Amino acid sequence: MPEDLPPCTVLGRPGAALSSRTSFGAAPRTRPVISSYAALGDSFTEGAGDETPCGAVVGWADRLAARLARNSLMPEFRYANLAVRGLFLDEIVEKQVSRVRGFAPDLVSLCAGGNDILRPGSSPDDIAARFDTAVAELTGAAGTVLVFTGFDPRDTPVLRRLRGKIAIYTAHIRAIADRHGCVVVDLWSLRAVQHPRAWSEDRLHLSSEGHEQVARRAAEVLGLAPQPEPLCLPGAEHRPWPAVQVEDLQWARIHLFPWLMRRLTGQSAGDGMGPKRPDLSPL
């Protein structure tokens, strides 16, 4: 083993040295040994907004998997990404959580419930209760469970009206993580994703820069060394109020209203789509 590497431990398994601070975003003191990773969720984990010129979808989970592969001390690193855009929590549980039992990965990430939260009349308490059940199942099937808080939508038109609802769900996720010993990526306080350039044109999905920031933060809370040159986004450009209002109206017409109509009619952007990496295979 190279002399510059600290002793290894397996996160979440017997003997793992995770401090109580880890579930709130602090990095473990020892470097994790992770040879397999399964990512579960919706468009956020699939990587929507982070597309290559040829149309392939990347995303923070793929970027994190690449980092884990480079840092793994095992001869082969395996990765699955079961996420599909548009899925609600119950669909993710039915289609994805049940498969993790067969994978038995060292690490599984679960980010779900965001589409449920955006449903009119939905209860963050009810969604959290179902999320808790899913996490309990995953902790029995994987070495470490990685979960995410919600983003702070305070600067997003329309969605900022749901800020209280998202904050309640975020508080539940923290409590669930603490109860089950999960590792948490705190997106609510991640200032890098509060910059406009961290979001794609639809303002509903991260841009490539945003996905990179999330991948960096997830790697850090898992104990991987931070990147030597952190990605710094320039300060947001000040725009006059009328121009901002016009842009918001255009965004609502082009992106928000079509999204709402799909939701009201029971349609999804992911209808007919399957996961991009359905099996735990070598990366």
The string of DSSP codes covering the chain is: --TTSPPEE-TTSTT----TTGGGTPPPSSEE---EEEEEESHHHHTTT-B-TTS-B--HHHHHHHHHHHH--SS--EEEE---TT--HHHHIIIIIHHHHHH--SEEEEE--HHHHTSTT--HHHHHHHHHHHHHHHHTTSSEEEEEPPP--TTSTTGGGGHHHHHHHHHHHHHHHHHHT-EEE--TT-GGGGSGGGB-TTSSSB-HHHHHHHHHHHHHHTTPPPPSS---PPPPPP--HHHHHHHHHHHIIIIIHHHHHHHHTT--TTTT---SEEEEEE-
Confidence of residue 59 (pLDDT cuts 50, 70, 90): very high
Confidence of residue 72 (pLDDT cuts 50, 70, 90): confident
Q: How high is the pLDDT of residue 41?
A: 97
Give me the residue spans of the domains in the chain: 8-282
Q: What percent of the chain has pLDDT over 70?
A: 73
Distance (Å, rounded) from C-alpha 243 to C-alpha 237?
12
pLDDT for 26 beyond 60: no
Q: How high is the pLDDT of residue 4?
A: 35
Average pLDDT over residues 9-29: 38
Q: How high is the pLDDT of residue 8?
A: 31
Q: How high is the pLDDT of residue 20?
A: 35
Q: Which of 240, 245, 113 minimizes the C-alpha distance to 170?
A: 113
- Which range, 7-16, 73-82, 91-100, 242-251, is most confident? 91-100
Q: How high is the pLDDT of residue 64?
A: 97
Amino acid letter for position 147: V
Q: How high is the pLDDT of residue 22?
A: 41
Q: How high is the pLDDT of residue 23?
A: 43
Instruction: Give residue-wise pLDDT tens across range 77-110.
Output: 999 999 999 999 999 999 999 899 899 999 999 9
pLDDT for 278 beyond 60: yes
In sequence order, what are the residues at sequence separation of 6 or more whose Cβ sits closer than 8 angstroms to the Cβ of residue 3? none
Instruction: Give residue-wise pLDDT tens across range 195-244.
Output: 888 988 877 889 999 999 999 999 999 998 776 555 555 544 555 546 55
Copy the structure tokens of residue 49. Answer: 């907004």
Average pLDDT, the chain: 81
Q: What is the CATH number of domain 8-282?
A: 3.40.50.1110
Instruction: Give residue-wise pLDDT tens across range 149-186.
Output: 999 998 877 788 899 999 999 999 999 999 999 999 99
Q: Are the beta carbons of 132 and 188 closer than 8 angstroms?
A: no
Q: Are the beta carbons of 13 and 143 closer than 8 angstroms?
A: yes
pTM score over 0.75: yes
